[in-house]
């Protein structure tokens, strides 16, 4: 980033937003950082513990296009992290999820183009790959919107990209806080002993987003190479003496997750620590990458067929580091 860059993060008082704010405030190039969210209480609490003059707070909802346009005035770089993420809530309130995750994405795109924002990075999830629930389906739609937005913005300077990763250790909605809350009773509920998930820390996620903002050309989906772990092993790492109660896979839930499908790998580029899914048939001036390598034929990147696995000790170390950071 060049010196004097102004940044805005939607959903800035959420788990990712707070970690992102801490990371960006440490950057020497920052001029102004705008936290855009709809929770005035969380904004007040965040301002009290982060008294930095470069940090600004803007109350608003991504469902409100005019408010987004006002907030993005003079902004160079946007990270779109606001979303409805709880799978049961999305299933029970489908149109609410559509309004926030799909229409909200459109509003972010329109505001960014209208305000001349240079770079926009949208956060996505492994649940957007071959989705089986509404949350994943809305995030898949959002991915498509952000990739194609480069065609609408081709006459200007705005470029859009997506970062897609797996479960964030310790974030709201993660199984880790659930297991820690159940620890007192000595009995943990588990859906399936074979279930696996991808895992990443908030700090790793924010670092990857900032790096992708530098790498992006417009239209890519960036996928980090991150480790997997069985959810059973997560439970035993947190509460070794616990009694495990198997309750079965919930509706709209997968046994294993995917970060890269077989179809996407046909137009992906592999690097040592990440993949880049390049746009197909880009209607804008996209320059394909030539410095990586093509994944193997019929390659898929799934949580149960991963060559990187977390140990119990790794997980405990990650959780302890997060507790110290907080």
Q: State pLDDT tens for residues 56-107.
A: 999 999 999 999 999 999 999 999 999 999 999 999 999 999 999 999 999 9
Both tokens of 26, joined, read: 């440490």
Given the residues 85, 127, 139, 254, select the one marked as catalytic. 127
Give 320's pLDDT tier (boundaries 50, 70, 90). confident
DSSP letter at 126 equals: G
Give 325's pLDDT tier (boundaries 50, 70, 90). low
Give 268's pLDDT tier (boundaries 50, 70, 90). very high
- pTM for the model stands at 0.95
Superfamily of domain 5-166+199-225+259-296: NAD(P)-binding Rossmann-like Domain (3.40.50.720)
Is 127 an annotated catalytic residue?
yes
Give 206's pLDDT tier (boundaries 50, 70, 90). very high
Give 186's pLDDT tier (boundaries 50, 70, 90). confident
Give 252's pLDDT tier (boundaries 50, 70, 90). confident
Those residues with Cβ within 8 angstroms of residue 7's Cβ, 6 or more apart along the chain or in another chain: 24, 30, 32, 33, 34, 75, 76, 77, 78, 79
The pLDDT mean for the chain works out to 94
Residue 245 burial (CB < 10 Å; 0-12/13-18/19+)? Answer: exposed
Q: What angle do CA 139, 100, 205 make, to 5 degrees?
A: 50
- For 52, half-sphere exposure in the C-beta direction (CA atoms, 13 angstrom radius) is 19
Those residues with Cβ within 8 angstroms of residue 204's Cβ, 6 or more apart along the chain or in another chain: 224, 226
């Amino acid at each position: 980033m060049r010196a004097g860059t102004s940044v805005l993060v939607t959903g800035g008082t959420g788990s990712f937003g707070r970690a992102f704010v801490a990371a960006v405030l440490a950057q020497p190039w920052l001029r102004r950082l705008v936290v855009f969210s709809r929770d005035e209480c969380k904004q007040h609490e965040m301002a009290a513990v982060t008294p930095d003059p470069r940090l600004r707070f803007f109350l608003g909802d991504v469902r409100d296009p005019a408010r987004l346009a006002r907030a993005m005035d003079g902004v160079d770089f946007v990270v779109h992290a606001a979303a409805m993420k709880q799978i049961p809530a999305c299933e029970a309130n489908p149109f609410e999820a559509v309004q926030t995750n799909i229409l909200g994405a459109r509003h972010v795109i329109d505001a960014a183009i209208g305000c001349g924002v240079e770079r926009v990075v949208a956060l996505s999830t492994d649940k957007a790959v071959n989705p089986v629930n509404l949350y994943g389906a809305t995030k898949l739609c959002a991915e498509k919107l952000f990739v194609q937005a480069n065609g609408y913005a081709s006459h200007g300077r705005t470029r859009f990209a997506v970062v897609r990763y797996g479960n964030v250790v310790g974030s709201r909605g993660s199984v880790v806080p659930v297991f820690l809350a159940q620890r007192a009773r000595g009995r943990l509920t588990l859906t399936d002993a074979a279930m696996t998930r991808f895992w990443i820390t908030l700090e790793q996620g924010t670092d990857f987003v900032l790096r992708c903002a530098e790498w992006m050309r417009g239209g890519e989906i960036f996928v980090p190479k991150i480790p997997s772990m069985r959810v059973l092993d997560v439970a035993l790492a947190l509460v070794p003496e616990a009694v495990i109660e198997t309750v079965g896979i919930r509706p709209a839930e997968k046994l294993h997750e995917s970060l890269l499908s077989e179809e996407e790998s046909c137009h992906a580029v592999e690097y040592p620590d990440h993949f880049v899914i390049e746009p197909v048939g880009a209607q804008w001036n996209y320059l394909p990458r030539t410095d990586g390598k093509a994944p193997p034929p019929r390659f898929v990147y799934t949580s149960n067929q991963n060559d990187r696995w977390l140990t119990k000790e790794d997980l405990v170390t990650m959780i302890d580091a997060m507790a110290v950071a907080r």
